[in-house]
Structures are given as C-alpha cells and as structure tokens.
Amino acid sequence: MKHFLSLADVSTDQIWHLLKLARELKAEWLRGGNRPLLAGKSLGMLFQKPSLRTRASFEMGMVQLGGHAMYLSPSEVGVGSRESVADVARVLSRYVDGIMARVFEHRHVEELAHHSRVPVINGLSDHSHPCQGLTDLFTIWEKKETLSGLRLAYVGDGNNVATALAFGCAKVGMDFVCAAPAGSQLPDGTVGRAREFASVSGSKIELTDDSYAAARGAHILYTDVWTSMGQEEETGVRLRVFPPYQLNARLMAAARPDVLVMHCLPAHRGQEITDEVADGPHSIVFDQAENRLHAQKAILATLLGQ
C-alpha cells in the first residue's frame, strides 16, 4: 500500500491489517502511550477545507507516534491556484515523509500521489473520505465485535462519506443501504464498484428513497450533513427536500433494538439528526470522533513506517 486515497483501492486484507493495528495502537495508548514508531518522521498537512477532527487527529497522531506534523493552510499554499498540484507535490515531498491532503476535487489527491516521492493520504475529497470510512469500520468492530453480516443504513445525502462506507462495507462483508432523495443518491459508478466488491465478500449494496425501509433491521444507522462544504448555494433547496431523511426517534424505532447511531461530525443538530438521538444511549458519535485518532495512526504507521 503506497498511498491511501480510497477504500476502493485497499484490499480486504489491508483493511483488516489497519483495523487490527488501530486496535493495538489504541490499547497501547490507553495503557500509557505509544511506542515512537515514527520518531524523526514528518507529515505535511495540506488543507483546502477546514476541519477540527482531521487536523487535530492527524497532528496528535503524529505526536503520539513520536513524529511531527506541519499544518499548511489554504492561503499559504493555494493548491491548484497559486501553485500547480504537481509542483506542490514535487516540492513538499522533498521536505516531509508523508502528505495528508484535505481537498475539494478528488483529482487533486490523485495528482499529488502521482507526483509525490512520499505516501499521500486523502484526508477528504469531494469523491470519498476513506479515513472516516476506516474509522467507522473500526468503531463498529469495536462495539459489535464483528463486521460480517451486519447491516448499515445510511440516510441522507449520498456524499463522500457514503461512498467510503459503501466501499468499506462491501470489502468486509457488511450489507450497506443508502436512503436518499432523487438526485442525491450515490453515483452509478460508485454503486457499480461497490457491488463488484460485495459480490466477492457476499454482502449487499442497496439504494432506496425510503428511509424507513432502509432502517428496517439495521444494526447501524448513519447520517451526515445535508449540505457539504462547497454546496452552500443549495442549502435552501436541500432544507426543503431532506427532512424525511432526518435521523430521529421515529426512524430509530424501525431499526433493531440494539442499533448504533453514527455521524461523522460536524452535526447540524435539528436538521439531519436530533439532539435526542445524537446524545442518546444508542449514539457512538463521539467514540467515532475519538477513533479517528487511532485509525489514522494505523494508516500513518503503515505508510510512513516502511
């Protein structure tokens, strides 16, 4: 595994390697701290979009593994505008041992990887959020002690998080259903690839516009914001279209009694999820947020520790 750009590019064996390493690193940290696996190593963090969890978890992940992280803001670099993506990759990869990029266009992380001398990690792109997807698999495995045979129902916008979940679930044998309104469902290409992976693992990938049908029998209910960064001009329309996909107590009642509630944060409370559900006994939202740290440490240790 040279880069970490999409869960579609990571084999099932590699996913399980990362999940097991994340579990090991988390247990080690809880016992008193991690070994300096990345002593002397550095990570350059390129941001086009701001994020609490991405910056804090990658930066502290490097610190906990004995390395160093360098934050580069949009105004400092101007990836693809002030300076070409290729030139940024050629220069930055001569200074650091790895690059994490949080971008708008997925082609930018692909171009960074193509021109970089060092591993590139997709911290988020408009196409996929593989770090979140891996974290979610880790969190579910931690809570349910299995992944195969579970049903994850995602309700809301078929966005980059839904893409990562579709790929990840398909690879490890989890059933995945996405409930979204017309025009906001997962792209055909994404669904096709996910179904190819599912045909190997024995899982199912389903699409529906009925949130209650999706929730029926679900082990996990998952949602995300209705309007992502870069879609602000669509906010008014989305606020009218998406209310039937709110994760609330009524929707939870359609799922299994032991259902887990997940959200990758930040949450627009009162829109895609209610306070009652986000803060309720079935919610593992903040466990997810914590596990970004440990799942990403597994990625960092695997890629930068080579």
The DSSP secondary-structure symbol of 286 reads: H
Say which of 129, 151, 193, 294 is annotated catalytic.
129
> How many CA within 13 A on the CB side of residue 35?
7
Mean pLDDT of the region 45-68: 96
Q: What is the pLDDT, as a whole number, of residue 79?
A: 76
Position with higher pLDDT, 234 vs 196: 196
228 has pLDDT over 80:
no
SS3 125: coil
Q: What are phi and psi of 268, to 5 degrees?
A: -95, 85
pLDDT value for 81: 67
Per-domain boundaries in the chain = 7-129+292-304, 132-288
The single-letter code of the amino acid at 7 is: L
Q: Which of 132, 185, 288, 296 is catalytic?
A: 132
Topology of domain 132-288 in CATH is: Rossmann fold (3.40.50)
- How much is the average pLDDT of 50-79? 93
224 flagged as catalytic: yes
d(CA 269, CA 235): 15
Q: What amino acid occupies position 89?
A: A
pLDDT at 230 (0 to 100): 67
Which of the pair, 261 or 79, is modelled with greater confidence?
261
pLDDT at 229 > cutoff 80 = no
pLDDT at 180: 97
The one catalytic residue among 169, 224, 288, 296: 224
pLDDT of residue 227: 86
- Spot the catalytic one: 102, 238, 263, 294: 102
Q: How far apart are CA 121 and CA 108, in angstroms?
A: 12
Residues 83 and 28: beta-carbon distance below 8 Å: no
CA distances for 239 relative to 183, 192, 261, 271, 276, angstroms? 14, 29, 22, 8, 20
List C-alpha distances in Å: 113 to 31, 138, 149, 182, 188: 35, 25, 34, 34, 25
Catalytic residue among 131, 169, 178, 264: 264
**C-alpha angle 74/235/132, rounded to 5°?**
55
The pLDDT confidence band at residue 32, using thresholds 50, 70 and 90, is very high
Task: Give the CA distances from residue 98 to residues 14, 28, 181, in Å, rounded to whole numbers and listed in that order.
Answer: 19, 23, 39
Averaged pLDDT, 158-181: 98
Handedness of CA 280, 163, 154, 185 (dihedral sign): positive
Gap between the Cα atoms of 245 and 262, Å rounded: 14
Active-site residue, selected from the candidate residues 106, 115, 219, 292: 292
Catalytic residue list contains 271: no
Quick one: fold of 7-129+292-304? Rossmann fold (3.40.50)
Catalytic residue check, 35? no
pLDDT at residue number 236: 87
Q: What is the pLDDT of residues 250-275, one digit of tens each?
A: 999 999 999 999 999 999 999 999 99
In the chain, the amino acid numbered 254 is: A
Reported pTM:
0.96
Determine the Cα–Cα distance for residues 259 and 49; give it in Å rounded to an integer: 32
pLDDT of 27 strictly over 70: yes
* Residue 250 is a catalytic residue: no
In the predicted model, what is the mean pLDDT of the chain? Answer: 96
Contact 231, 156 (CB under 8 A): no
Share of the chain above pLDDT 90, in %: 92
Residue 9 appears among annotated catalytic residues: no
Same fold, 7-129+292-304 and 132-288: yes
- Verify whether residue 219 is a known catalytic residue: no
Which range has the worst mean pLDDT, 16-20, 171-175, 229-233?
229-233
pLDDT value for 118: 98
Cis peptide before 36 (omega within 30 of 0): no
Residue 80 has pLDDT above 80, yes or no: no
Residue 278 CA to residue 262 CA, distance in Å, equals 8
pLDDT at 239 > cutoff 70: yes
Question: What average pLDDT does the segment 27-31 reach?
Answer: 98
